[in-house]
């Protein structure tokens, strides 16, 4: 039985343990039908031209883990940003771990999707937001069909999440292969503010496939600051589908740090439903071996006077491959749009590949849109300059790559997180850079 | 200190240096002058170890040690410093962090521990003062958006920090206004001692009013065609290079 068949038949088992009478279940049933009809995307589709899921779909994933697994905090502490106080929503093999989590209902809700989907007090918010901006493509539909657990965050009007929120998914390797489908909903009301750090971490080399969907609603003047740390084991793959709806004067900033994993596909979508909106996407990708990272972004400029900024840097070694596909749509009404997109790449190996493709669809006539892609090797004159000052080749190379990705780090607003990312990068580049840039 | 013997070098099969002989002793200042395209910058790059150039014949020694097989960083560790005509911009690395890395890598090569942070800061402060560099400048990205004068001052600042045995200043005067020129020259003069040597490469005599050379050499068509005292620089300033060309070509 292939994975698609397995998933479709698992849906029946899934129905046995969820409330099939809830309105959510109609959405799920609809979604599994879509998935059944469409199936997994293949390279024949334009949006998947450079990313093949074949190698990861052949595993015999367990869709529902048999048992609940526990982890000791001391063994996994290093995956947390632990030097600051944070809210934590932690899952082990897809199941919520109350032991490792720190949630709250004090003024703000930082809790579980399963409670939000089932408890009457969340009904209105769920009805107004759940699956409202998630697209109906196959992978998102697949997640919707099985949507049951994940993070639920609601920051009411004028409130501020005083601590960053960490959403961490661990997989223990107790299953020989595991598929996870977390579903997150983040609702940030008018003038509210939240910082979120998301991480997926496999603890063994057993294959893991995560197909995650996150819907984020930023109301007027809301500020959402989202960080994705993708530094997983070499057999863990991630398909991240994130949808962000923004209203007037809201600011949303998503950083994606892709340093590890077998295959990563980021589908990051911004919809600007209001004026004076700022949407910012930043990414650093540093990979090697046969790793594959694909950034697929969309910014939909719908109303006038908005901005979007995209800045993705990639460093590709060994036989790794990268994809950047950045689509910007500017509707006819969206006059005075400023849309910037940059994708700069360094290939440090002859066998590494990057496919970069900006896609601009502009229907308004008074806009500023720019895009630039570069693919290059390390700047030889800079190398000679550094070496002439006594910095050996390897260190000079690392310092240059570090410097190259540095401007993406400058917008990270949590200093401890920035420090952590700095360390991961220095580690990845195999040098001890004796200072913080 | 530095001995160059019958040096021939080429880039992409184009022969540029065609038999250079030069000896620089400790405590001396040499000026290398010459028209554009004569090979001045090539000579500087070859001594510093730029890999684009092929040394076809001859040798370069520093204190008796052959440099030919040494990489650029190894030459730096031996005490060679090249002040670039066009210093490279490195966005994302501050002046301070760059010099810290550079100092500590040089120390590592000498088998020394990293310089204690306190000493490093003190040294940075002293040398920055010498070149009239303010603190804000030190935290800027290396050479990024620097004016011509700032770039050159930063080069000499790094030289001051690294305290090389042999400093080669490649067209350090180009792009400098008179105030910057004075500051840079003053810095170089203060760093000069009986134990180190300076080679000044310049097209114009102007810098040599401030950094007074013991010897002046004229490079033309890949060879040193004339050598003399500092008065040769004045003669070149007055008469240009044409008479040299005529003399050589004749």
Q: What is the pLDDT of residues A5-41, one digit of tens each?
A: 999 999 999 998 888 888 899 999 999 999 999 999 9
* Confidence bin at A52 (pLDDT 50/70/90): very high
Which of A383, A389, A399, A400 to probe by mutation at the B interface, max B CB count within 10 Å? A389
Residues A179 and A149 sit within 8 Å (Cβ to Cβ): no
Q: What is the structure's pLDDT at B173?
A: 87
Percent of the residues in chain B that have a pLDDT greater than 90, as a whole number? 81
Residue A417, by phi and psi: left (phi above 0), alpha (psi -120 to 50) or beta? alpha
Instruction: Give the pLDDT of residue A139.
Output: 97
| Residues of A at the B interface, defined by Cβ within 8 angstroms | 379-382, 384-393, 395-396, 399-400, 402-407, 433-435, 437
* A408 falls within a domain: yes
Nearest to A392 among B50, B105, B114 (CB): B105
Inspect the interface and report whether the beta carbons of A388 and B97 lie closer than 8 Å.
no
pLDDT reading at A436 higher than 70: no
Domain count, chain A: 1
Q: Torsions phi, psi of A217, nearest 5?
A: -115, 115
Touching check for B104 and chain A: CB below 8 Å?
A: yes
Q: Work out the minimum CA distance from A261 to partner chain B, whole angstroms.
A: 27
Measure the CA–CA gap between A308 and A299, rounded to whole angstroms: 7
More confident residue, A80 or B175: A80
Residue A44, token pair as written in the block: 């024949």
pLDDT at A50 over 60: yes
* For residues B104-123, average pLDDT: 95
**In chain B, which residues have their Cβ closer than 8 Å to the Cβ of A402?**
92-93
Nearest to B84 among A385, A387, A395 (CB): A385
pLDDT digits (tens, 9 = 90+) for A335-351: 999 999 999 999 989 99
**Over 80: is that where the pLDDT of A383 sits?**
yes
pLDDT value of position A435: 53
Gap between the Cα atoms of A87 and A161, Å rounded: 9
Query: Model confidence over A107-140: pLDDT tens digits?
Result: 999 999 999 999 999 999 999 999 999 999 999 9
Judge if ipTM > 0.90.
yes
More confident residue, A214 or B93: A214
Extended beta strands in A143-220, E state: 151-155, 165-171, 178-180, 183-188, 193-202, 208-218
Q: What is the pTM of this model?
A: 0.83
Residue A161 predicted with pLDDT over 60: yes
* Domain of A428, in residue numbers: 378-437
Tell me how far apart the alpha carbons of residues B14 and B9 are, in angstroms, rounded to a whole number. 9
In a domain, A405, yes or no: yes
Residue B56: per-residue pLDDT: 94
Task: Output DSSP code: residue A196.
Answer: E
**What domains can you pick out in chain B, each with its CATH number?**
2-249 (3.40.50.300)
Percent of chain A with pLDDT strictly greater than 90: 86
CA distance A265 to chain B (A): 28
The answer to whether the beta carbons of residues B94 and B124 sit under 8 Å apart is no
Residue A437 confidence (pLDDT) above 80: no
Q: Does some domain include residue A402?
A: yes
Mean pLDDT of the region A161-178 = 95
Q: Which residue of A has its CA nearest to B88?
A: A382
At residue A236, the pLDDT reads: 97
pLDDT at B91: 86
Task: Please indicate, yes or no, if residue A325 is contained in any of the structural domains.
Answer: no
């Amino acid at each position: 039985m292939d994975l698609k068949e397995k998933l479709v038949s698992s849906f029946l088992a899934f129905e046995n343990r969820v409330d099939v009478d809830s309105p959510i279940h109609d959405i799920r049933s609809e979604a599994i039908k879509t998935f059944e009809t469409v199936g997994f995307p293949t390279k024949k589709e334009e949006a998947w031209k450079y990313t093949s899921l074949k190698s990861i779909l052949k595993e015999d994933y367990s869709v529902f883990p048999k048992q609940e697994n526990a982890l000791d905090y001391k063994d996994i502490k290093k995956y947390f940003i632990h030097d600051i106080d944070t809210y934590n929503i932690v899952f082990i093999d897809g199941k919520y771990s109350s032991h490792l989590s720190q949630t709250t209902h004090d003024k703000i809700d930082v809790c579980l999707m399963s409670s939000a989907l089932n408890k009457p007090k969340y009904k209105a918010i769920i009805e107004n937001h759940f699956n409202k901006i998630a697209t109906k493509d196959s992978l998102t539909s697949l997640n919707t069909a099985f949507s049951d657990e994940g993070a639920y965050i609601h920051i009411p009007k004028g409130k501020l999440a005083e601590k960053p929120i960490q959403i961490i998914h661990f997989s223990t390797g107790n299953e020989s292969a595991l598929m996870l489908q977390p579903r997150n909903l983040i609702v940030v009301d008018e003038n509210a503010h939240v910082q979120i750090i998301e991480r997926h971490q496999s603890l063994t080399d057993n294959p893991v496939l995560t197909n995650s969907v996150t819907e984020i609603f930023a109301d007027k003047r809301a500020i959402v600051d989202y960080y994705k740390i993708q530094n997983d084991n070499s057999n863990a793959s991630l398909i991240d589908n994130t949808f962000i709806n923004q209203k007037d004067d809201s600011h949303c900033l998503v950083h994606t740090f892709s340093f590890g994993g077998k295959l990563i596909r980021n589908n990051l979508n911004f919809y600007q439903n209001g004026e004076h909106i700022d949407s910012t996407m930043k990414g650093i990708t540093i990979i090697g071996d046969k790793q594959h990272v694909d950034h697929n972004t969309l910014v939909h400029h719908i109303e006038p006077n908005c901005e979007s900024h995209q800045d993705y840097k990639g460093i590709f070694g060994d036989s790794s491959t990268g994809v950047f596909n950045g689509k910007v749509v500017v509707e006819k009404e969206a006059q005075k749009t400023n849309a910037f997109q940059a994708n700069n790449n360094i290939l440090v190996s002859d066998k590494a590949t990057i496919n970069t493709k900006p896609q601009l669809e502009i229907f308004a006539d008074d806009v500023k849109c720019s895009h630039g892609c570069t693919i290059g090797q390390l700047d030889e004159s800079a190398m000679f300059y550094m070496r002439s000052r006594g910095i050996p080749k390897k260190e000079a190379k690392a310092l240059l790559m570090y410097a190259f990705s540095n401007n993406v780090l400058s917008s990270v607003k949590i200093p401890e997180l920035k420090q952590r990312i700095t360390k991961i990068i220095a580690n990845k580049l195999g040098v001890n850079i004796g200072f913080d840039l | 200190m530095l001995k160059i013997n019958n040096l021939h070098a080429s880039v992409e099969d184009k022969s540029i240096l065609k038999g250079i002989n030069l000896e620089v002793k400790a405590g001396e200042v040499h000026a290398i002058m010459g028209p554009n395209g004569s090979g001045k910058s090539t000579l500087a790059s070859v001594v510093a170890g730029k890999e684009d150039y092929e040394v076809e014949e001859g040798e370069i020694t520093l204190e008796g040690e052959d440099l030919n097989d040494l990489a650029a960083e190894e030459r730096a560790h031996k005490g060679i410093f090249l002040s670039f005509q066009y210093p490279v911009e490195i966005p994302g690395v501050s002046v301070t962090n760059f010099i810290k890395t550079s100092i500590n890598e040089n120390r590592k090569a000498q088998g020394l521990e990293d310089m204690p942070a306190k000493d490093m800061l003190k040294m940075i402060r002293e040398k920055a003062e010498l070149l009239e560099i303010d603190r804000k400048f030190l935290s800027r990205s290396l050479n990024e958006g620097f004016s011509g004068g700032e770039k050159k001052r930063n080069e000499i600042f790094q030289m001051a920090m690294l305290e090389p045995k042999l400093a080669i200043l490649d067209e350090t005067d180009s792009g400098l206004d008179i105030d910057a020129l004075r500051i840079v020259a003053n810095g170089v003069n203060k760093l000069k001692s009986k134990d180190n040597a300076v080679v000044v490469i310049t097209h114009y005599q102007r810098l040599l009013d401030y950094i007074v050379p013991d010897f002046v050499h004229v490079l033309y068509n890949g060879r040193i065609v004339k050598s003399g005292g500092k008065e040769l620089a004045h003669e070149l300033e007055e008469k240009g290079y044409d008479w040299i060309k005529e003399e050589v070509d004749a």
